[in-house]
Structure 1
């Protein structure tokens, strides 16, 4: 497939990522079990009568998509593609609670209707009066990557020129409670978390929404060229090197050509070994990490993609993201590697425009 361009990037996260000076204002957090997103003033974007009926993920996505489209100078995209791991969890929990409280009788359908995973893409389309291709991917930690692949196909096949691509996930009290019980979230006794040298299981959980406009043509606003994506559901630790080398070879690159590698270290001792193994492949590249800034969640790679876009455009890497001491005069190629708990491994290659 031909490369496409990321012409705008917007993100709502546990950082103040709507701020223009985000690279200078990043604040790591390693001592709280669950990180909440910094939410904007929704009333400036959504009518008050609609806000109370929207779940957090719909509200975050509506604002993030608004900024992405505004930056790209597009009123109505040719397609809307959204990736999410958990969907509208808040409304799902409300519906299930209704089922239990009412003993499965006299149920109102509202929460069920709003709980489906494609609610986000649908609400954005309704707000824009966009009747074009509308699709939602639910593939845990590779949901955004599958969305990008679909956007690439739509553009390469001549079905679209500008595609709104996004990822979003929210937290809910009951789900977080279950995650604690299953030790997915770190125990309080294991905090603060050492993201790079952890000896304990579990992660600090976050949330957020990231949206991008992917286009056929390069524009004055372009952040990066989306060159290629590769996804593998299952991977053994000793297969990581071949997984990455094959991807680089397919793109006519070697490890020496990669200026920066963004790794998804989460502080979980069992699954971070994949990233530790990857570091050995890139001795001369700037090695970066980001989940101490975003927390772990299904579509955390949206935050890393947003940061990679900022780095490529501004040619600056925040000190807080460095793992090693390698610094490049020019950052041309960035490789993003992510997985969730050792499953759904994804590689994304971005190039400076």
Structure 2
């Protein structure tokens, strides 16, 4: 029997009932085949789709979450990959993005932590094994992981820091799944450690994306940088990205606040031991909540105009739910993004 835990809430900011309303809003937009589009009629990408599946499970919508994972199993290519964007009736963007392909491992481990359903983990294993194999074929000798392959198999020529940071976390989740099921994959953790070392020591290994907030906080959110290194990184560009009482700018040179990145950044600060900042960010994100539990994707200040096109996306709602769980800290998966060594195999990275 799968475990059931109360829907998380954060005292003084959002109740468990309100978070459940947000979970149910995601479920409302899920398609019958399991796909979770960004919004009705929109596309889905496997990364944000998995984020939504994790949020559904946190709200007790286990059947809907497992239907989302089945959608991935049904669409996986023979080489272990998924395309970057799907529409209800087919592929929209056929690029094969390594970060997107690795992320189902994070979702599968999260789902196991919540449910204890070994059958689910065993069902996911062949897909995860193939997906991680595809991803590691893109790892360079130095350790970074190239962004993607074209649909014909041709690799892209550069790596991205945000994507590689997320992959580092996904590799640890995949290794945890392997260990739980008794499969030996020591090279997965070796690859994660090499990747973390590059993130820590070789900034020039990645294409420059310094305008983007995710490149700032993702190495912390995903556990490649911890302790003093994490706090130093977050402090260094705080002024560039944080707009007090509003949230996180998605790019440093525009007053464009995004609720998902605000919540992800909150989890990064929580992982760095900066709970006060994490709580402030999450509190600011609640101003973007609408009746019914949905959240605006982005808001331009000072005009207060919502973008893009008034969008209230499922992936934004999912980020809020994951951040609520991390801040409440009571659920069995709540520390997955905030205390990486608690639930994952430890990295072995040279100091």
Of structures 1 and 2, the one with the larger relative CO (CA 8 A, separation 6+) is 1
Q: Answer 1 or 2: which has greater helix percent.
A: 2
Normalising by structure 2, we get a TM-score of 0.34
Normalising by structure 1, we get a TM-score of 0.33
Q: Answer 1 or 2: which has greater strand percent.
A: 1
